[in-house]
Structure formats: structure tokens, C-alpha cells
Structure 1
């Protein structure tokens, strides 16, 4: 006879398993399958070929020792990921540190944390486009710099450049780093901090030996959020980069626009594998499941 109580956990997991299977596993398998199909100018042809992957890497072999377009695009995307991750990590850690240890009142912590979330009440596109009037040739920043004598002409690098892309990324995704780090810091036993001060540890020693190690789960989780989002973001790079800066996400978007779905699927598979490799390397630094 089937024991319902004994298998209650398994029964309760069925809805979640179905959702993950239907909306994650199946679409992912379809993307992998389509990446091996053939296509022409007006249709896709079910097949099993490696042409789509060969087209991505074949030019790299021919262009050695120079970087091919595909490899240079991946390097460009990884560069944006690394710079954005580094800045959001430093900013998010300092904000979380201030909220956790410098603000003693719980009510004030809630108020300040809500202030951090206010920008997320609006669309990402609106927040991103809001930088254009500020950074444009006749924008507020250039006008101010010229009025105070810092520059004689508008600074072209402020907008439609790598600087504006990274600025928009940091603006959009820093909160994804703040929240998990803040959550980890709030779980730190304050008696450990008091014991460190009683033992004569300086603030820097307390930070490096207690706070940072115990905040590592939040740092890893926040890093995973930022990396996965930035790796696939092509809208921010397209708008803030003036459609001049390459990215893997933009290549996939262009290929889908021209109905080259198998080629887009092949690039998507490589992008997913690259992202998973980065995440796998980061999860080796801490057992997230155990820490949570």
C-alpha cells in the first residue's frame, strides 16, 4: 500500500519539478536540438550537422594569430562582465556593510533599503535611457564640464562608448549584489564582532577575518546574479553603445532577426556553456546549499 506520509516530500516536489522541466529543461533541450539543424534564407531544415558550430570557430583558425570576430566578441562580452562584476561587488559590499553595521536602527535600515529599491519600481529601459540626456553632447554633464572650464568641447566618450555601457550596467544591476550580501551580513552573529574588538582586532582585521569570510555566500550568489544577467544583456549594450559595440547577445539577436535560428541556437549554447563554467568555478569557492 502506498504510504502518503512517507512520500509526502516527493509528492510536494512534483509541481516544482513539472515547472522546472516544462519551462527550463524542455526549452534548453530544444535550443540544443535546433543548434544542429540546417537552414536557408527562408526556412530551417531538421538535420544533424555541425556546420553552425564550425561557422563560429572556423574563422578563428584562419585568422590566427589575430583574434577572429567570434572570439573577439566573446572577449568583449567577458570584459564587460568582469568590469561590471568588480564594480558592483565593491559598491554592493560597501552599501551592504553600511546598512548592516553602520545603521543601528532597524527602521532606518528598512527605510534606506527601500531607497535602494526605488529605482527598480521603473522599467530598466527607462532607467537606462535616462542617462542619455545627462551624458549627451549637449547634456548636463558636458555642459557643466564646459562651464567650469574642465573641457573646451563636449566629451565624446561619455555616451555611446564602453564607459556608458558599464555605467548603465552598474546602475541597473548593483542591487542584485546588495541584497544577497546584505542578507549574509545580517546573519552574522554580532557577538563575533564584539569578541574580535575585545581581543584587540582592528576594524580592518575584523573586516577581513570575520565579515568578508562570513559574507562569502552572499557575494557568490550576488556574483552569479550579475554575471548571468550581464552575459545575456544585449539591449543595454546596443542602446548605450550606439549599436557599435559587439556582444554575443547582439549576435544572437541579429541572427534571430534574419531567421537564422540554428546559428543563433549554436551561439546560445556556447554562451550558456561559458556562463555555466563561470558559475561552476564560483560555486566551488563555497557550498551555497550548505550555507543557505
Structure 2
């Protein structure tokens, strides 16, 4: 028998570095007694299946149905997908089909809106998190950012029309001050107005997760970096940004997924002149071309999932959830 020195208690049988220190009784107390784990997860599973899995499955099924001007025929066909990519691989005058041009236009808006919302959202979050000292003032400023959400998106979009229109406030000011001699046409019903409206509507979706990530940063890390001689830019680049990656990725997913499927903002602020994937689906639905719209929706979903998959490879967002 091994000799045990006085005053040193022998470790319990089976203890080791790989064994949990939580007593078995404490672990058992965390479970609901008498209810299996799979039964506890059943309500959430049913809700997920009813409002997410089943609707997506129905859209996928309808995308393979036939249709004409009068009815939808539940007969299997690939024609809807063939029509979408018609002329895309045969080479055209400009080498790009309508579908590719539409997706390129949509991705362009996504990139621009993502860049501007990230810049504004990070700046606002940084100021509130690190330059506002009191919790009460931080809460107040954060609530002020949510005030635009008290009104509908359509009203917030329409409010830009009197400002950016041909006879709007901005053009009247430019002509009154002599900056321009005629109204600036590209302020409204253009790519500029669409991006401006998107940024106005969706910047909050970038502020919230980034601000949440910044508030979790241990201020002692920043003080240690400052004591080590790091400049403000070095602290921002090497400490704050790496620790905010999760919030940046979550905000990016929010913004990109919303912009990819949006058709209201592009229709109102683009004057029904700018094409997008969401706008095509909306038009096809209005003409009761549901199988074609469903096929476009499936392709759009695949593209969005590919973007989300790429973003989630950068950082594990499960740490934030």
C-alpha cells in the first residue's frame, strides 16, 4: 500500500484530469426528473419543423411543378430551372445572361451596404462601448439608435423622397447656393438612393451584435496593451477587432441575408427600374407564376447559404449564441 503523508487527503477513486469535478448528484439535478431529453426537445423541434422546414420543403417541391397562364400543374419538371439559366452558358452578346446580371446587381448592393453598415456600426458601437463611461448613458444612446425602428420601413423610405427628389430639399439647397445650376438627377431613383435607404434601414442590425461583443471585452486587456506601449490604432487592430469578430460576422449575416431578398426598398427607392433577385420573385408571384418564383427562391437560398457558410468559416459564432 502506498504511503500517504499526514494532512494530505487521498484523491477520490477515479479522479483525474479528464474527469468532471461536478458531483453526480449535481449533474442529475440539472435534468428534469422522469422526462427524457428527446421529449423535452419535442416542442422546439415541432415549432422549427412547422415554421421553417415544412415551408422550405413546400417551396422546393413547387419549384419542380409545371404551370401555364391559367393553372399550376403538380407534374415534375426541370423546366423552371432551365428557363432561369437559359442563355447563361451559350455565350451572348455581352457574355452574361439576365440571371447572372441580376445576381451581380444584387451582390453589388450587398457589398456596398455591408461595407457602409460595418463602418458606421463599428464606429457607433466603439464610441458607445469605450468612450461613454456611465452605464445609464450607454443605455440611453443605445435606445436612441432604435428610435427609427418605431416606424415602418416603408415610411422611413418614403421620407427620403422629399429630400432627394428633383424638387426636393437637397436640390433646392444646391441650386440656391450656386453649387449646381440644375437639379441633380441621380439623388433619387438610382443606385445611390437604394444604398442610402438600405444603410438607413439596416445599420442597426450591425450595431447590436458588434456592441454586444465590445461590451464583453475585458477592459484589463486594453489597459495591459496600453501599458505595453501599444498605440490606439494597434489596440484597435490587435485587441478590439479580433475580439469583435463574432459580432461582425453575425451583423454581416443579418445585413446580407436581408438585402439579398429585399424587393420593397429596391422597388420604392429605385423607381421600379433596378433589377434584383427579390424583385424578380415578387413580380413572378404577382403574375401567379409560383413554380418559377419558387425555383428562383431555391437558387437564392442556395446562394445565401453559401455566403453564410463562408462567413461562419471565419469564426465560430456558436460562442456568441
Give how far 1:200 is off: 0.5
**CA distance in structure 2 between the partners assigned to 1:96 and 1:290 by the alignment:** 20
CA distance change for structure 1 residues 291 and 114 in 2, over 3 Å: closer, same or farther? closer
Q: Which ranges in structure 2 are unaligned for 5 or more consecutive residues?
A: 1-30
**CA distance in structure 2 between the partners assigned to 1:155 and 1:10 by the alignment:** 63
Give how far 1:7 is off: 4.9
Instruction: Find the counterpart in structure 2 of residue 241 from structure 1.
Output: 270
2:300 to 268, 271, 283: 271
Instruction: Using structure 1 for the length normalisation, give the TM-score.
Output: 0.97
1:19-168 pair list within 5 angstroms: 19-64=47-92, 66-168=95-197
User: Over residues 72-122 of structure 1, what are the superposed CA-to-partner deviations in whole Å (9 max), with x where a residue is unaligned?
Assistant: 001101100110011101110000000000111111111111110000000
User: Over residues 139-185 of structure 1, what are the superposed CA-to-partner deviations in whole Å (9 max), with x where a residue is unaligned?
Assistant: 11111111111110000000000000000000000000000000000
1:133-212 pair list within 5 angstroms: 133-212=162-241
SS in 2 for 1:163: helix
CA distance change for structure 1 residues 77 and 109 in 2, over 3 Å: closer, same or farther? same
**CA distance in structure 2 between the partners assigned to 1:74 and 1:281 by the alignment:** 18
Give how far 1:4 is off: 5.8
Instruction: Find the counterpart in structure 2 of residue 12 from structure 1.
Output: 40
Give how far 1:136 is off: 0.3
**CA distance in structure 2 between the partners assigned to 1:194 and 1:257 by the alignment:** 58
**CA distance in structure 1 between the partners assigned to 2:78 and 2:193 by the alignment:** 37
CA distance change for structure 1 residues 209 and 4 in 2, over 3 Å: closer, same or farther? closer
SS in 2 for 1:60: coil
Q: Does 1:288 align with 2:317?
A: yes
Quick check: which has more Rg, 1 or 2?
2
SS in 1 for 2:182: coil
Instruction: Name the structure where helix makes up a greater proportion of residues.
Output: 1
**CA distance in structure 2 between the partners assigned to 1:41 and 1:63 by the alignment:** 30
SS in 1 for 2:96: coil
Give how far 1:281 is off: 0.1
Q: Does 1:220 align with 2:276?
A: no
**CA distance in structure 1 between the partners assigned to 2:313 and 2:226 by the alignment:** 31
**CA distance in structure 1 between the partners assigned to 2:32 and 2:230 by the alignment:** 55
**CA distance in structure 1 between the partners assigned to 2:179 and 2:91 by the alignment:** 43
Q: Which ranges in structure 1 are unaligned for 5 or more consecutive residues?
A: none
Give how far 1:9 is off: 4.1
User: Over residues 13-62 of structure 1, what are the superposed CA-to-partner deviations in whole Å (9 max), with x where a residue is unaligned?
Assistant: 22111111000000000000000000010111111111000001122124
Higher relative contact order, structure no. (Cα contacts within 8 Å, ≥ 6 residues apart): 1
Instruction: Using structure 2 for the length normalisation, give the TM-score.
Output: 0.88
SS in 1 for 2:271: coil
SS in 2 for 1:180: helix
